Structure 1
Amino acid sequence: MKSSASPPPSLPIGQVLACAGLIVTLSMGIRHGFGLWLQPITMERGWSRETFAFALAIQNLAWGVATPFAGMLADRFGAFKVLLTCSALYALGLVTMALATTGLAFTASAGVVLGLAQAGTTYAVVYGVIGRNVPAERRSWAMGVAAAAGSFGQFLMVPVENLLIGSFGWQHALFILGVGALAIVPLAFGLKEAPFAKPTAHDQSIGGAIREAFAYPSFVLLMAGYFVCGFQVVFIGVHMPSYLKDHGLTANVATTALALIGLFNVIGTYAAGSLGQVFPKRYILSTIYLLRSIVIVIFLNVPLSPMSVYVFAATMGVLWLSTVPPTNAVVAQIFGVRHLSMLGGFVFFSHQIGSFLGVWLGGRLYDATGSYDVVWWIAVGLGVFAALVNLPVRETAIARPSAQPA
């Protein structure tokens, strides 16, 4: 039975993809360059790298914890209201991040506030709108388009943020980005759906949807794989600029590397979304995770030079967020779209636990050993683990009693 609480498609596909893509471009693009602030902030404030890394680790954790709740609100009341609120939080977090003078205040702003803001302005919320307004046969492709837009934001924003820091200083650069985050507000109007119908007695409840998902082994396996994704990409994104500087390479090499990750991520995410319409998504995910481990091993074993960094960044960029479209498309394929933002939020929460450990362990083990080597090899081992756990995922729609929504 179709859920009466799920509205019929009410928005043009082109409008949904354009607005969702631009929102993710801003929200993901701004955060992708946070690693550029590590050295200027810690040097001026006299903090250790662990202080900065811990704040961003809390950001990733807060983002993950809040995402299921942001998804619940978006599924129940529409993404529009969630986007408006979290756009304002994003601006507030960037401004207070610039003003923080203690490690605690920095953690509260860069960590908690920005984490809450990202929960309501990134993939989980906008994918719910895409899922409700794009036919199932085009859903994986559409999610790939939105993810590719977010990837382009990473490519676009890193050199912009580096330019802002160089031209205005790191504090004023954050003020400018805070104003930029408010551009999400007008874009949110393009994702304003028709009012949702009130749930009926035949609709699956939020609690029922959560219990069903966590009792289904494939959902747990997807969460395990996404944990690894978070660990790898956030460790690399935050700590690679400092890793390269420690080895004598210039800041421009690090900036170019992050930009290349964003540029090639456009290709990878779009390709993964498109391939998900043709091939089993579990095989796509397993291949991505295995290739990440292989690429890291090669990077660690060749002489470090600007060219080796650029090749690594381009290759890793193809694999960067290419897990996002197939993972969310599998969730929609198994459980339907009624609670997609919420269930996608729980999978993303696992991603953010991995992100927390990746960014925090990067700083913690660097301070303890003077090297990032141990964390690189942890990332390699986790990639092999994720490749294996995605293989048994079942992608078919879950069987439900006729009284529950499809």
Structure 2
Amino acid sequence: MSSTHQTPAPTLTMTQVLLCGAMIVTLSMGIRHGFGLWLQPITMDRGWTRETFAFAIAIQNLAWGAAGPLAGMLADRFGAFRVLIVGSVLYAIGLVLMGLSTSGLAFTGSAGLLIGMAQSGTTYAVIYGVLGRNVPAEKRGWAMGVAAAAGSFGQFAMVPVESFLIGYSGWQNALFILACAALLIIPLAFGLKEPRQAAAKGPQQSVMQAVREAFKYPSFQLLMAGYFVCGFQVVFIGVHMPSYLRDKGLSPEVATYALMLIGLFNVFGTYGAGVLGQHFPKRYLLSLIYILRSVAVVAFLWAPLTPISVYIFSAVMGVLWLSTVPLTNAVVAQVFGVQYLSMLSGFVFFSHQIGSFLGVWLGGKLYDTTGSYDLVWWMVVALGVAAALLNLPIRETGIKRAALAPA
């Protein structure tokens, strides 16, 4: 029995991988973070309910998660470069069709299915696979924190840009401009093009062996359950908080600043989580993040709603926003190795996106049913407590494998 995982020799410099990977994540995550700003303009212009918009974004998150394992498997097998090219093109097409859709079904197909599949090939799971193969194990958690921080910076930087584009050129033209921005991922993908390596000697774990091993491992199941909660929380807040604040009489600028603050403080939160994960048990850090999210939401709901209280809540949530990402993916790499890191991270992220689907869809559904977001806010609180408890028993040591038969 052995717990040692073979790590392929790096083929790209760490600086190159971090720079190109961070810029790709900045674009991909930055574009999607502002989608909540389109909820009211699109629904008012098209005469749709909020549930129509929310359902499309829910499908987007579900499609992103469902395509994630496949995108990860292809990236592990053929390299991230090809997957990123396809993802960039799909992203641009999806944004254009999102602006042209005149029915709820067409909007679900473009904003939902197409953009969701595009995101599966242009975000963390694919980038982290390249990082895992080209960054030393002792710096892997830090590097993942840097990449996650880049995505956070994209959220901070892109929200005011998207808000300006909507106000200056209209919501449709704003989507067409973002489609051009999504194509910038293509030249950046060349920086992550890994040369083909010679096949390793001796028996290697197959894809199905890796999948069976992971899903039988209790800690992998607990990671997936915790990540489900993460998706429910952040996507509900990201999509529905702008409308929640407008319903309460606050100006649209408050919502824009709130999303900007989440993105800004997320830079520090994700980077800090990557650094802390190098020194403290990641399961305890994950539990702390989830319980602090619940505390922050309770304080936000109980405090008088003012622009200042919104900004404080956004800053606190920003620190906790995607800080789960480097920690969760680092645990996957630590337990299972990096050979199938993109694929396994994709499976964990699928659970995250099922939570995202429910968070964004229930937000719209329950609002249309009750006229309020209150019930969903308290679901966010309860799920945070549950996730904190689920992460405590996770084991972070490398899994012990028997000698592998030829795949």
Summarize deviations over 1:370-396 as a string: whole Å, max 9, x none: 000000000000000000000000000
Contact 2:5 2:337 in 1 (8 A): no
- For residue 306 of structure 2, what is the aligned residue in structure 1? 305
CA distance in 2, matches of 1:294, 1:99: 41
Secondary structure of residue in 2 paired with 1:396: coil
- For residue 270 of structure 1, what is the aligned residue in structure 2? 271
- For residue 139 of structure 1, what is the aligned residue in structure 2? 140
Offset at residue 251 of structure 1 (A): 0.5
Summarize deviations over 1:182-208 as a string: whole Å, max 9, x none: 000010011011114457771100000
Q: Which amino acid is 2:32 matched to?
A: R
- For residue 217 of structure 2, what is the aligned residue in structure 1? 216
2:329 maps to 1:328: yes
Q: Which amino acid is 1:370 matched to?
A: G
- For residue 35 of structure 1, what is the aligned residue in structure 2? 36
TM-score, normalised with respect to structure 1: 0.98
- For residue 66 of structure 1, what is the aligned residue in structure 2? 67
- For residue 402 of structure 1, what is the aligned residue in structure 2? 403
- Residues 80/329 of structure 1: CA separation in 2 closer, same or farther (3 Å cut): same
CA distance in 2, matches of 1:198, 1:219: 28
- For residue 123 of structure 1, what is the aligned residue in structure 2? 124
CA distance in 2, matches of 1:392, 1:7: 30
Secondary structure of residue in 1 paired with 2:403: coil
Q: Which amino acid is 2:10 matched to?
A: P
- For residue 237 of structure 1, what is the aligned residue in structure 2? 238
- Residues 199/60 of structure 1: CA separation in 2 closer, same or farther (3 Å cut): farther
- For residue 316 of structure 2, what is the aligned residue in structure 1? 315
Summarize deviations over 1:157-216 as a string: whole Å, max 9, x none: 000000000000000000000000000001001101111445777110000000000000
- For residue 54 of structure 1, what is the aligned residue in structure 2? 55
Contact 1:7 1:197 in 2 (8 A): no
Q: Which amino acid is 1:61 matched to?
A: L
Summarize deviations over 1:65-109 as a string: whole Å, max 9, x none: 000000000000000000001100000000000000000000000
- For residue 18 of structure 1, what is the aligned residue in structure 2? 19
Contact 2:81 2:192 in 1 (8 A): yes
TM-score, normalised with respect to structure 2: 0.97
**Structure 1: runs of 5+ lacking an equivalent:** none
Contact 2:88 2:183 in 1 (8 A): yes
- For residue 286 of structure 1, what is the aligned residue in structure 2? 287
Q: State the identity %.
A: 73
Q: Which amino acid is 1:72 matched to?
A: M
- Residues 11/100 of structure 1: CA separation in 2 closer, same or farther (3 Å cut): same
2:367 maps to 1:366: yes
- For residue 176 of structure 1, what is the aligned residue in structure 2? 177
CA distance in 2, matches of 1:157, 1:174: 13
- For residue 383 of structure 1, what is the aligned residue in structure 2? 384
Summarize deviations over 1:241-300 as a string: whole Å, max 9, x none: 000000000100000000000000000000000000000000000000000000000000
- For residue 45 of structure 2, what is the aligned residue in structure 1? 44
Root-mean-square deviation (Å): 1.3
Size of the aligned set, in residue pairs, is: 404
CA distance in 1, matches of 2:80, 2:202: 24
Q: Which amino acid is 2:267 matched to?
A: V
- Residues 137/7 of structure 1: CA separation in 2 closer, same or farther (3 Å cut): closer
- For residue 158 of structure 1, what is the aligned residue in structure 2? 159
- For residue 86 of structure 1, what is the aligned residue in structure 2? 87
- For residue 195 of structure 1, what is the aligned residue in structure 2? 196
Secondary structure of residue in 2 paired with 1:393: coil
Q: Which amino acid is 1:244 matched to?
A: L
- Residues 86/203 of structure 1: CA separation in 2 closer, same or farther (3 Å cut): same
CA distance in 1, matches of 2:167, 2:193: 38
Secondary structure of residue in 2 paired with 1:124: helix
CA distance in 2, matches of 1:260, 1:235: 17
Summarize deviations over 1:327-377 as a string: whole Å, max 9, x none: 000000000000000000000000000000000000000000000000000
CA distance in 2, matches of 1:162, 1:80: 31
Summarize deviations over 1:297-318 as a string: whole Å, max 9, x none: 0000000000000000000000
